[in-house]
Structure 1
Amino acid sequence: MVLGKRIYNSDGLVLLAEGVELTTGLIRRLGTLELGYVYIEDAVTEDIVVPELLTEETRLQAIRSIRTSFKNLESQASLKGSFLHLGKTFSGMMESIMDEISGHDECMVLLTDMNTNDYNLYRHSLNVCLYSTVLGVSYGYNREELRVLGLGALLHDIGKTRISQKLLQHPGRLSEDEFREIQKHTEIGFKILKDEPNIPLLSAHCALSHHERLDGSGYPRALKGPDIHEYAKWIAITDSYDAMTTQRVYKPALLPHEAVEVMYAGSGTLYEQQFLAMFRDRVAIYPPGITVKLHTGESGVVSKIHAHVPHRPVVRVLTDGDGTPLSAPYELDLSETLAIMIAGIGQSTIDQT
């Protein structure tokens, strides 16, 4: 059995490369990482391509730069002085990200990178940036607008570098005082970014306002709908989505389709309805390579997604309704076969025997 897609550790570095033979020992080790799923090479599905938003080189370089810059902030005794390096570092990074995302003909919000299931501020920052930039492209923003949105998304949680890591990783329910302490990261982030010449002021406001909600229930200023800048509204969506689909010490990760359903409960109250609808239409809730079960009892693997209807992918059907493997698997395009529905994500496990 061979690993079909590389697995990253919490710092975004490759833990296991694709093509590695999964020995019994490695399979046991994977079990300790609490991964929701892994990609396995299989003769029946080897032609299925799992797309990526960034090349591995750009992703690793971005993670390293974010980690270095954020750790420097964590170690500083105070916030006095200039953080000029932040603007230079992240502006250059944003240019590379825009170049790669713009090179995709049909760019989607894809949750396909395999990571150890623990929250990591560096990876979260990059993911929120990627998702927000993809949505900005779909919305029609020009390159400068994408740069400002992307920088705001990339640095939206920079204030957490000045919050106790013990508190951020607290496994139980937070007290009111503890929650108020964590909420300060929005104002701290704005303070770090607002005077930096290479960071647009609107990007700094994204750090300040990404936890505001349409109904005024957010923080730190309890702003309502029209008073929240649209960039912060986009980041509110992508930040929530990435948080929901990532394992945390206090909650399990949701699968993409589960997170979208939860977020839709807040459409028009927490999140901008128009933006959330576009997000739904651009997120690959059933990414290529994932096992799905149809309501007919058949099961298979998503082989392709349609940019215009990502929730109705092409499924390569591998078993019949009784679970018997088909001698001749076939492609079923759910965008054309509306009577058949996806009933759930497959529960296949790795055989350790």
Structure 2
Amino acid sequence: MRLASTKSVTPGMILAQSIYNENGVVLIQKGLKLTEKMLGRLLNQGITYIYIEDEFTEDIYVEPVLSDKLRVDASKTIKDIFLELRESGLKERAYILEKKGKKLASVVERIMEDIKSSEKSLSMLTEIFITDDYIFHHSLNVTIYSLAIGVEMNLSNKKLTEIGIGAMLHDIGKIFIDPEILQKPDKLSVEEFEIIKEHTTMGFDFLRKSADMPAVVSHCAYQHHERLDGSGYPRGIKGDEIHTYAKLIGIADVFDAVTSNRVYRDAMLPHEGLEIIYAGAINLFEKNMVEAFKRSIVVYPVGLSLQLSDGREGVVVRQNKHICDRPVIRIMSEDGKHMRTPYELDLASVINVTVTAVITD
């Protein structure tokens, strides 16, 4: 299979990776020939990249980050908590969070164990979902990325659990924001953006009143948009004034936001999202956390077509753990000529060859 821009896929091509909703239900089964109607629906849902079958890459297989059962359990837990809180009165909310707290911690611990036991780096692009509410999907992705950074930094299980719960609930304040503003498909006005920014304070005020939540969890909600140079919100605090967990979750939050499929804009590919994080590695984000994040994720996902500095082109077939910007490439063409017998090139062992472009059509 190879990864292609949905806009470049033509009717008749065969889907190589099933597309799901957040409940794990298959919406479009792999192996189906894609029709113009299907492709239009995917684009309307904000799905900008899909996997398609290709005779030269038919042996390439992409493994999910989490097991299907764990992803469904985690998505359901987040969705249940957010929806119950959104639809409940003030007096009921503290009880709901208390009731769901143990389930939340259990899901975080399961995700943490999956990440620790995996020999592979994270690539969320391999799991293509259509969801009615971005917040649930985003909260899970931010949890996964945050835990991956924490694991790479060798943090204790206690700290990882706190980070995981903080990441799952970092956007909890959005349940108090008008859904019409949250789900607006167009650019927000200045006034609307100011309302959105209030989710940090609202989340903090709600979580700090819960006796069963660690105090640091409320600070994750409060500070995940703060930045080292004081340019963040809601308080514009700087450096060590920002809680370590919030700094870490802030990196995961930005990366997932720019690499996720959204109706109003195309998702960036991981290498593009990482460039944004690196651009802020001095003024906005802790450099050691950015480096840990880079070691944790896949920069060029399996199935992605790349152009190399020596003119060769190929498809990513495998990753090199901890050097994720130097994958193994199956070379498909040299000097503009298609190879009759493709061969593999390990970029980790060839230091004078670099990736110069990503090919998505």
TM-score, length of structure 1 as denominator length: 0.90
- For structure 1, which segment, 109-118 or 245-254, has the greater mean C-alpha deviation from structure 2 after superposition? 109-118
What corresponds to 2:169 in structure 1? 155
Contact 1:118 1:249 in 2 (8 A): no
The question of 1:333 aligning with 2:346 is answered yes
1:249-328 map, 5 Å: 249-322=263-336, 324-328=337-341
Is this contact kept in 1: 2:47–2:262, CA < 8 A?
Answer: no
TM-superposed CA distance for 1:15, in Å, is 1.8
CA-atom RMSD in angstroms: 2.3
Shift of 1:305: 1.0
The residue correspondences of 1:110-129 to structure 2 (distance < 5 A) are 110-116=124-130, 120-129=134-143
Aligned to 2:64: 52
1:345 alignment partner in structure 2: 358
CA–CA separation in structure 2 for the residues paired with 1:32 and 1:5: 19
Deviates more, 1:3-12 or 1:292-301: 3-12
C-alpha deviation, 1:174, in angstroms: 3.4
Q: Cα distance 1:326–1:81, how it changes in 2: closer, same or farther (>3 A)? A: closer
Q: CA deviation at 1:310?
A: 0.6
Distance 1:20 1:200, change over 3 A: farther
Match of 1:351 in 2: none
Which amino acid in structure 2 is aligned with residue 332 of structure 1? L
The number of residues matched between the two structures is: 347
Deviation per residue, 1:139-160 (Å, 9 max, x gap): 0012111100111111100111
Contact 2:148 2:293 (C-alpha < 8 Å) held by counterparts? no
Matched, 1:4 2:16: yes
Once the two structures are overlaid, the 10-residue window that deviates more, 230-239 or 244-253, is 244-253
Whether the 8 Å CA contact 1:289–1:301 is kept in 2: the answer is: yes
Q: How far apart are residue 172 of structure 1 and its match?
A: 4.2
Task: Specify the SS of the correspondent of 1:331.
Answer: strand
Number of the residue aligned with 2:246? 232
Residue number among 211, 228, 231 corresponding to 2:225 in the alignment: 211
CA contact (8 A) 2:48 2:261 kept: no
Q: What is the deviation of 1:341?
A: 1.9
CA deviation profile, 1:55-97 (whole Å, cap 9, x unmatched): 0111112112211221112212436652312312311211221
Aligned equivalents of 1:176, 1:325: Cα separation in 2: 51
Match of 1:74 in 2: 86
Distance 1:227 1:268, change over 3 A: same
Q: Percent identity?
A: 39
How far apart in 2 are the matches of 1:176 and 1:79? 33
Name the amino acid aligned to 2:54. D
Conserved in 2, the CA contact under 8 Å of 1:157 and 1:185?
A: yes
- Distance apart, 1:40 and its partner CA: 2.2
Of 143, 147, 168, the residue aligned with 2:182 is 168
Secondary structure of the structure 1 residue equivalent to 2:307? strand
Q: Helix, strand or coil: the match of 1:203?
A: helix
The alignment partner of 1:287 has SS state of coil
More helix by share: 2
Task: Note if contact 1:334-1:341 (Cα within 8 Å) is conserved in structure 2.
Answer: yes
What is the one-letter code of the residue matched to 1:139?
Answer: M
Instruction: Name stretches of at least 5 consecutive residues in structure 2 with no aligned partner.
Output: 1-12
For residues 77 and 26 of structure 2, the distance between their equivalents in structure 1, rounded to whole angstroms, comes to 16
Question: Which deviations, in whole Å up to 9, do the C-alpha atoms of 1:284-334 show, x marking residues without a partner?
Answer: 110112122223333221011111211011100122332x43110100111
Unpaired segments ≥5 residues, structure 1: 349-353
Mapping 1:78-157, distance limit 5 Å:
78=90, 81-82=93-94, 83-108=97-122, 110-116=124-130, 120-157=134-171
Change (3 A) 1:198 1:291: farther
Within 1, Cα distance between the matches of 2:234 and 2:141?
Answer: 23
Q: What are the superposed Cα offsets for residues 99-134 of structure 1, whole Å, 9 maximum, x if unpaired?
A: 222221344354321234987110000000001111
Alpha-carbon contact 1:109-1:134 (below 8 Å) kept: no
Distance 2:360 2:303 in 1: 13
Letter in 2 for 1:346: I
1:256–1:174 Cα change, 3 Å: same
Do the aligned partners of 2:22 and 2:75 also contact (CA within 8 Å) in 1?
no
